[in-house]
Structure 1
Amino acid sequence: MSLVFPHTFVPWFRSVAPYIHAYHGKTFVVGMAGELIAAGKLNAFVQDLAIIHAMGIKLVLVHGFRPQVNEQLAAKGHPSRFSHGQRITDAPALDAAQEAAGQLRFEIEAAFSQGLPNTPMANATVRVVSGNFLTARPVGIVDGVDFIHSGVVRRVDSPAIRRAIDIGALVLLSPFGFSPTGEAFNLRMEDVATSTAIALQADKLIFLTEVPGIRENPADPTTDIDTELVLAEAKRLLATLPPAEQPSDLGFYLQHCVKACEEGVERSHILPFAVDGAILQEVFTHDGIGTMIVDEKLESLREAGPDDIGGILQLIEPFERDGTLVKRDRTEIERDIDHYTVIEHDGVIFGCAALYPYPEARTGEMAALTVSDAVQGQGDGERILKRVEQRARATGLDSIFVLTTRTMHWFIKRGFKVVDPEWLPEARKRKYNWDRRSQVLVKNLK
């Protein structure tokens, strides 16, 4: 039996809580490459999806089956043929795709039906719904190549999918669509997942793939993964790449992520299935593990509003409890909310500070400067400080000051100087807690 250490588990679980709150009731479309199943990672992945489902997130899972169809065709002595990044589906290939899809749906539904004690699936109840949710049309003939039974998505029955996920079911889509005449077409998993995410206006489109994401320098495989790409940057990168025909090509998944974001999906992700728990790390940690494409800069530094009160309280509470900050009640924050600046990441507040001006002394107090432990050391505190300085200058203040008992050196490194408490404006001096013995530090803004 594994041991749980409260001193690590409790802070970790609390750090995850903001994402649980933020994503409850949201819709995720997950595209799973067939290579994930071929690599023997289905059970672990299903366990992770069951956890996400238990958090109240609505899920649509689209499976691929490229290696499984290749295997079926090889067993029958029939070659696999591709062009323009898509399978040429002749009659034998269509039969192989149908057999592979049936087998994979059986395996996926079986995996979601597990419930052995002492496993992540214990007490899990995930009802899987499949059906003819996709209408397709043939690809036709492209550059002289007849794709025969290969198709593209024409329509997604989003109302039916929405009804299913709204009652708590997980919708499983195979890459097959049907024409109004009943003809079956083999589709690409990536097209199905992207079209479904757009039709549902999903909150996230997530691809679990054989690639780790987009590197900061795509030409250098040793550089780190770029965890966030603004849509405009992603489009510029895509424009420099050759047409992507293989899943390993840099633009193969990127092109679908870009399309999804252009058409209303808030965020799209490229994750490596080779990393155990990749989807949990991406969804429930600050920086994630793969590449996320967003329509606007994910991290927002802005002035606070009434909707931020709960997030600020949740952020500062641990620091009040350990004595780093003076305790502030909800009424006080509600009254002073227009004084606050916040830094928001993916809908969760990770940092804040308040500016209380004393115009008669041409100075202002920066109070409650807080950055979550989850993002310590990433420069968010300095970014908030700079924004507060801008606000102070804009209101005609010549300096700002802080009172602190524990973080004096951080402020000194950023241009603050220690002064005697007698320096404080008269109105602030009357409220100074001499028992707390806070250090007073001042920064000149002129």
Structure 2
Amino acid sequence: MGDSDMEEQFVEWLRSVAPYIHSFRGQTFVVAFPGELVKAGALPVLAHDLSLLHALGIKVVLVHGSRPQVEEQLELRHVKSHYYNGSRITDPEALECAKEAAGELRMDIEAAFSQGLPNTPMAHAEIRIVSGNFVTATPLGILDGIDLKWTGKVRKIAYDSIHPILAQGDLILLSPLGYSPTGEAFNVRMEDVAVSAALALHAHKLIFMTETPIIKDINGNEVREVTSHQVEGILKTGHLSEEAADYLRYSAKACIGGTPRAHIVPFAMNGAVLQELFTHDGIGTMVTYENVESLREATIKDVGSILKLIEPYEENGTLVKRGRELLEREIENFSVIEHDGVIFGCAALYPFPAEKMAEMACLIVDPDIQGEGDGERILHHIENRARAQGFKTLFILTTQTAHWFLRRGFVYASVDELPKDRQRIYNWQRKSQVLMKKL
């Protein structure tokens, strides 16, 4: 590859990440990583990548785990570890080891973010990390007759104290330790702290950097994107490792609680967090929230409601007219969004399997009922339906809403790029614009 090719590739790449940079600026990301990441020597690289996020105006909250470091401390003291249901039974010796491990890790993390050597990604970076008693915990207590002693769960995150620290440009570091109003310390799960922090701080993303490889379904297919309600089905198969299942379970919990996106990213790949955030497909598993009760595939009972919804748009020429008979035949192509039994949005997916393409049509949301982002939720649902059926490209034809789709990853295309069967029925009188999106 010549110099000019490399320069052009660099320019195209930089332009491709610009939308992500604009979107992420000012947002809060909670980044959680296990003690295994530090043990593997990957902390300096993570610090480089997170310092870049910080430089882009992203507010970063770090949460570290410490399980292998605690195990090492226990082994030095010749004390055996005890677990129940995946949680450590924290006796006094284990609590002391957890404190020592957290202290050492905190210093290692602070040192990693203090790098500033020339010719490194940390050059000119002046990052301050603030940690403290931000986590209030309560004991897990006795479960099934087993006293977990000083093992706790998060009761509260001190968001009022954390917000101004993030606003002034510092990073927050949270350890897997919490404190009670009585002055006791409790050993808590890193995942519990991360989810609690994401919810309390209204984080836009929760990112788990994991020691586990990318999550796969029971058939061995990589799970790149999954909704919170689909997680239970994956967990029920029982094929995931205990660690991977935990990451998936906690990610779904965060999304159901209000975090828009949770990412499970294997840290073994160089620049993993950057690849996940700044490339279209990412390299990990993204968990999103979807309200199953309000967004679903249509049934024959929905025909009347859909007709009523789309009728005004047929009258003003936005949509081509469909009769009841045609809609009844095509009802399986439709998805609907409803609230309290009232359908206020719909869209249809028409397959063109030969070209591995699909058309989305009839995307409508009632302006009198719609909430913020409902149109985008339907689009996202249709994209997931298309991916699940093996389609590589989604296209739309529109006369009035091209800019809305352009802002959501579609690009202009020509009629010649449509599937052959769709070209034959293209209405040249309407002169609809063609837009496409790679899935």
**1:230 aligns to what?**
227
- State the distance in 2 between where 1:41 and 1:100 align: 17
**2:253 aligns to what?**
259
Residues 125, 379 of structure 1: alpha-carbon distance in 2 compared, 3 angstrom cutoff = farther
- State the distance in 2 between where 1:191 and 1:86 align: 11
Is the contact between residue 212 and residue 225 of structure 1 (CA under 8 Å) also seen in structure 2? Answer: no
1:416 alignment partner AA? Q
**1:80 aligns to what?**
81
Secondary structure, counterpart of 2:117 in structure 1: coil
Tell me by how many angstroms 1:353 deviates.
12
Is the contact between residue 29 and residue 59 of structure 1 (CA under 8 Å) also seen in structure 2? Answer: yes
**Counterparts of 1:107-126 in structure 2 under 5 Å?**
107-126=108-127
Residues 224, 116 of structure 1: alpha-carbon distance in 2 compared, 3 angstrom cutoff = farther
1:92 alignment partner AA? E
Tell me by how many angstroms 1:424 deviates.
6.9
Tell me by how many angstroms 1:238 deviates.
3.3
TM-score normalized by the length of structure 2: 0.68
Residues 380, 26 of structure 1: alpha-carbon distance in 2 compared, 3 angstrom cutoff = farther
Tell me by how many angstroms 1:389 deviates.
9.7
- State the distance in 1 between where 2:425 and 2:134 align: 67
Give unmatched runs, 5+ long, in structure 2: 292-346, 348-358, 363-386, 402-411, 435-439
Tell me by how many angstroms 1:206 deviates.
0.7
- State the distance in 1 between where 2:137 and 2:106 align: 20
Q: What do residues 107-166 of structure 1 show as CA deviations (whole Å, max 9, x unaligned)?
A: 000000000000000011211000100111111111121111111111111111111111
Is the contact between residue 211 and residue 248 of structure 1 (CA under 8 Å) also seen in structure 2? Answer: no
**1:162 aligns to what?**
163
Tell me by how many angstroms 1:249 deviates.
4.0
**1:195 aligns to what?**
196
Larger Rg computed on CA atoms: 1
Residues 100, 130 of structure 1: alpha-carbon distance in 2 compared, 3 angstrom cutoff = same
**1:383 aligns to what?**
395
Moved more, 206-215 or 55-64: 206-215
- State the distance in 2 between where 1:89 and 1:163 align: 33
Provide the identity percentage.
48
Tell me by how many angstroms 1:226 deviates.
1.3
1:160 alignment partner AA? S
Secondary structure, counterpart of 1:96 in structure 2: helix
**1:90 aligns to what?**
91
2:395 alignment partner AA? R
Secondary structure, counterpart of 1:296 in structure 2: coil
2:250 alignment partner AA? H
Is the contact between residue 361 and residue 396 of structure 2 (CA under 8 Å) also seen in structure 1? Answer: no
- State the distance in 2 between where 1:381 and 1:208 align: 30
**Aligned residue among 259, 265, 268 for 1:271:** 265
Q: What do residues 63-111 of structure 1 show as CA deviations (whole Å, max 9, x unaligned)?
A: 0000000011111111111111111111111111111111100000000
Alpha carbon RMSD of aligned pairs, Å? 3.3
Tell me by how many angstroms 1:214 deviates.
2.4
- State the distance in 1 between where 2:418 and 2:256 align: 42
**1:289 aligns to what?**
283
Residues 288, 69 of structure 1: alpha-carbon distance in 2 compared, 3 angstrom cutoff = same
- State the distance in 2 between where 1:183 and 1:115 align: 37
Residues 424, 213 of structure 1: alpha-carbon distance in 2 compared, 3 angstrom cutoff = closer
- State the distance in 1 between where 2:58 and 2:232 align: 29
Secondary structure, counterpart of 2:395 in structure 1: helix
Tell me by how many angstroms 1:232 deviates.
1.7
- State the distance in 2 between where 1:140 and 1:41 align: 35
**1:45 aligns to what?**
46
TM-score normalized by the length of structure 1: 0.67
Is the contact between residue 416 and residue 423 of structure 2 (CA under 8 Å) also seen in structure 1? Answer: no
**2:208 aligns to what?**
207
Q: What do residues 275-303 of structure 1 show as CA deviations (whole Å, max 9, x unaligned)?
A: 11111111111111111110139xxxxxx
Is the contact between residue 29 and residue 62 of structure 1 (CA under 8 Å) also seen in structure 2? Answer: yes
Tell me by how many angstroms 1:417 deviates.
5.4
2:230 alignment partner AA? E
Residues 354, 135 of structure 1: alpha-carbon distance in 2 compared, 3 angstrom cutoff = closer
1:268 alignment partner AA? A
- State the distance in 2 between where 1:384 and 1:288 align: 24
Tell me by how many angstroms 1:173 deviates.
0.4
**2:102 aligns to what?**
101
- State the distance in 2 between where 1:190 and 1:412 align: 46
Tell me by how many angstroms 1:416 deviates.
2.1
Secondary structure, counterpart of 2:78 in structure 1: coil
- State the distance in 2 between where 1:128 and 1:233 align: 37
- State the distance in 1 between where 2:256 and 2:422 align: 43
- State the distance in 1 between where 2:179 and 2:70 align: 19
Tell me by how many angstroms 1:239 deviates.
4.7
**1:396 aligns to what?**
none
Q: What do residues 5-34 of structure 1 show as CA deviations (whole Å, max 9, x unaligned)?
A: 311100001000110011111111111111
- State the distance in 2 between where 1:383 and 1:353 align: 6
Tell me by how many angstroms 1:175 deviates.
0.6
Tell me by how many angstroms 1:250 deviates.
3.9
Secondary structure, counterpart of 1:271 in structure 2: strand
1:131 alignment partner AA? G
- State the distance in 2 between where 1:131 and 1:249 align: 27
Q: What do residues 192-213 of structure 1 show as CA deviations (whole Å, max 9, x unaligned)?
A: 0011111112111110111123
Secondary structure, counterpart of 1:160 in structure 2: helix
2:179 alignment partner AA? F
Tell me by how many angstroms 1:224 deviates.
3.6
Tell me by how many angstroms 1:56 deviates.
0.7
- State the distance in 1 between where 2:361 and 2:147 align: 65
Secondary structure, counterpart of 1:383 in structure 2: strand
User: Are 1:411 and 2:423 an aligned pair?
Assistant: no
1:226 alignment partner AA? V
Tell me by how many angstroms 1:410 deviates.
2.1
- State the distance in 2 between where 1:380 and 1:390 align: 25
Is the contact between residue 212 and residue 270 of structure 1 (CA under 8 Å) also seen in structure 2? Answer: no
- State the distance in 1 between where 2:89 and 2:421 align: 62
